[in-house]
Amino acid sequence: MIQIKKDLQAAALQPLLQRFWELSGQKIKSIEQIYDTSKGSPVFTVKGQYTTRGWTEWTQGFQFGSAILQFDATGEMDFLESGRSKTVQVMAPHVSHIGVHDHGFNNVSTYGNLLRLMQEGKTNFNEWEKNFYELALKISGAVQGSRWTTTKSGGFIHSFNGPHSLFVDTIRSCRALMVSHQLGHVLQAENDIKINLLERALLHCQATAQFSVYYGEGRDSFDIWGRTAHESIFNTKDGNYRAPNSQQGYTGFSTWTRGLAWAMCGFAEELEFLQTISDTELLNFGGREEIEGYMLKAVRATCDFYITHTPVDGIPYWDTGAPHLHKLGNYLDRPADPFNNQEPVDASAAAIGAQGLLRLGKFLQEKGETEMGDKYWQAGLTVVQTLLQEPYLSTDPNHQGILLHSVYHWPNGWDYVPEGSSIPLGESSMWGDYHIREVALYLQKIINGEPYYTFYNGVQ
Gyration radius of the chain over CA positions: 20
Mean pLDDT of 346-355: 98
pLDDT tens across 63-113, in order? 999 999 999 999 999 999 999 999 999 999 999 999 999 999 999 999 999
Indicate whether 460 pLDDT > 90. Answer: no
Domain annotation covers residue 323 = yes
Domain annotation covers residue 395 = yes
Report the interhelical angle of 370-387 vs 288-308 (nearest 10°). 50
CA distance 156 to 165: 9
Domain annotation covers residue 2 = no
Confidence of residue 8 (pLDDT cuts 50, 70, 90): very high
**Domain around 396:** 10-459
Confidence of residue 362 (pLDDT cuts 50, 70, 90): very high
DSSP state of 450: P
Helix-then-strand count for the chain, H and E: 15, 9
Spatial CA neighbour of 118 closest among 159, 74, 71, 161: 71
CB count within 10 Å of CB 227 equals 25
Instruction: Specify whether the CB–CB gap between 274 and 289 falls below 8 A.
Output: no
pLDDT tens across 255-312, in order? 999 999 999 999 999 999 999 999 999 999 999 999 999 999 999 999 999 999 999 9
Q: Per this entry, what is the length of the chain?
A: 460
DSSP 3-state of 50: strand
pLDDT of residue 340: 97
Indicate whether 120 pLDDT > 90. Answer: yes
Confidence of residue 329 (pLDDT cuts 50, 70, 90): very high
Domain annotation covers residue 419 = yes
CA distance 154 to 142: 18
> For the chain, first and last CA: distance in Å?
38
pLDDT of residue 39: 83
Which residues partner with 169 through β-bridges? none
Report the interhelical angle of 60-74 vs 430-448 (nearest 10°). 20
Mean pLDDT of 167-178: 97
Check which CATH number belongs to the domain holding 251 and give it.
1.50.10.10
Domain annotation covers residue 349 = yes
pLDDT tens across 232-246, in order? 999 999 999 999 999
Mean pLDDT of 447-451: 97
Q: What is the pTM of this model?
A: 0.97
CB count within 10 Å of CB 44 equals 26
Confidence of residue 230 (pLDDT cuts 50, 70, 90): very high
Domain annotation covers residue 1 = no
CA distance 409 to 431: 13
Residues 6+ apart with CB under 8 A from 451: 120, 445, 457
Torsion of Cα atoms, 140 then 141 then 144 then 149, to 10°: -160
pLDDT of residue 56: 72
Domain annotation covers residue 225 = yes
The total domain count for the chain is: 1
Phi then psi for residue 231, to 5 deg, are: -130, 140
Domain annotation covers residue 4 = no
